[in-house]
């Protein structure tokens, strides 16, 4: 390869990487809100097709990637009151604490436990944190379609400062509204988890998937989350997103 060709290749690679990052950044910008809340119904479908139903309430305050969130199970009775506090950071993995009312104690979720399932669902603890654009490197991997919608297909890899169970992810971003339609996450070349987003609706100016399906490739199980009573920019207080608030319920 001659010098001019090498420089051209480097320039093209830099442009493609920047374009991919700009797409993800625009997707993040369009989803910004001061707060968010919803009631979620989770249908957990095991490998043997056994189905269990769970419900939680979710509340978030703060800008994307630098926010705080609490989700709390409301049903069934055996998980009612179990809650998770997530403090997201723009420069590293989130801090998380789980409250278990049956033993009246909270525990910090250690980094090595982030890959485990969150309380019988197919979400891992890591999947519940926000993916800030600056914690990943991006590369365009072509065009594709999800559910009939044209998408950019973008490869993302966590930076060294971002601890993750995944070595890479493939993200499909819709071209019409910049909503992530699907994320496949891998450990090396092995698919670990697929998250599919559908029933996308405009909620007070923010295009939002109202159905989220998580597939655990190892367990061959699925969790379908449906967002109900979804609202953005509802007045909330910082003091409701603390360890004391987590314990208080």
Average pLDDT (162-191) is: 96
Rg of the chain (C-alpha set): 19
For residue 1, pLDDT beyond 70: no
Residue 27 structure tokens: 């997707």
Q: What percent of the chain has pLDDT over 90?
A: 82
pLDDT of residue 91: 83
Q: Could you tell me the pTM of the whole model?
A: 0.89
* pLDDT tops 80 at residue 106: yes
The 10s digit of each residue's pLDDT in 119-130 is 999 999 999 998
Q: What is the per-residue pLDDT for 132?
A: 84
Q: Which long-range contacts (CB under 8 A, 24 or more apart) does 195-201 make?
A: 195/127, 196/146, 198/147, 199/226, 200/174
Averaged confidence pLDDT in the chain: 91
Quick one: average pLDDT of 138-153? Answer: 97
pLDDT of residue 18: 56
Q: What is the mean predicted confidence (pLDDT) over 192-221?
A: 97
Q: What is the mean pLDDT of residues 186-199?
A: 97
**pLDDT category of residue 65 using cuts at 50, 70 and 90:** confident
User: What residue spans of 50-137 are helical by DSSP H?
Assistant: none
Three-state secondary-structure class, residue 33: coil
Please name the helix (run of DSSP H) or strand (run of DSSP E) that holds residue 20, with its range, or none.
helix 3-30
Give residue 231's pLDDT band: very low, low, confident or very high (50, 70, 90).
very high
Structure tokens, 122: 């197919």
Q: Name which residue leads in pLDDT, 1 or 201.
A: 201
Q: In this model, does residue 242 exceed pLDDT 60? A: yes
Residues 55-76 have a mean pLDDT of 94
**Smallest Cα–Cα separation from 128: which of 90, 95, 174?**
95
pLDDT band for position 107 (cuts 50, 70, 90): very high
Report which DSSP code applies to 126: G
pLDDT at site 149 = 98
Q: Of all residues in the chain, what percent carry a pLDDT higher than 70?
A: 93
Counting beta carbons within 10 angstroms of the beta carbon of residue 51, is it exposed (0 to 12), middle (13 to 18) or buried (19 or more)? exposed
Residue 5, pLDDT score? 44
What whole-number distance in Å separates Cα of residue 141 and Cα of residue 128?
Answer: 25
Q: Does 14 score more than 80 pLDDT?
A: no
């Amino acid at each position: 390869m001659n010098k001019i060709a090498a420089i051209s290749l480097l320039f093209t690679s830099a442009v493609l990487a920047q374009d991919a990052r700009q797409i993800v950044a625009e997707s993040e910008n369009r989803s910004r809100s001061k707060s968010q809340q919803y009631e979620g119904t989770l249908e957990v479908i095991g490998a043997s097709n056994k189905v269990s139903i769970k419900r939680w309430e979710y509340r978030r305050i703060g800008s994307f990637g630098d926010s705080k969130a609490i989700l709390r199970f409301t049903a069934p009775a055996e998980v009612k009151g179990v809650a998770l506090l997530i403090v997201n950071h723009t420069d590293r993995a989130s801090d998380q604490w789980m409250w278990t009312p049956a033993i009246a104690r909270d525990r910090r979720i250690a980094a090595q436990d982030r890959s485990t399932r969150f309380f019988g669902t197919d979400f891992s603890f890591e999947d519940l944190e926000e993916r800030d654009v600056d914690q990943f490197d991006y590369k365009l991997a072509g065009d594709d379609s999800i559910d009939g919608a044209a998408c950019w297909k973008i490869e993302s890899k966590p930076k060294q400062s971002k601890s993750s169970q995944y070595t890479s992810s493939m993200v499909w971003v819709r071209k019409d509204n910049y909503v992530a339609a699907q994320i496949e996450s891998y450990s090396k070349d092995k698919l670990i988890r697929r998250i599919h987003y559908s029933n996308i609706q405009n909620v007070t100016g923010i295009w939002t998937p109202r159905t989220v399906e998580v597939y655990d490739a190892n367990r061959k199980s699925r969790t379908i989350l449906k967002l109900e009573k979804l609202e953005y920019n509802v007045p909330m207080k910082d003091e409701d997103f603390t360890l004391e608030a987590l314990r208080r319920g």
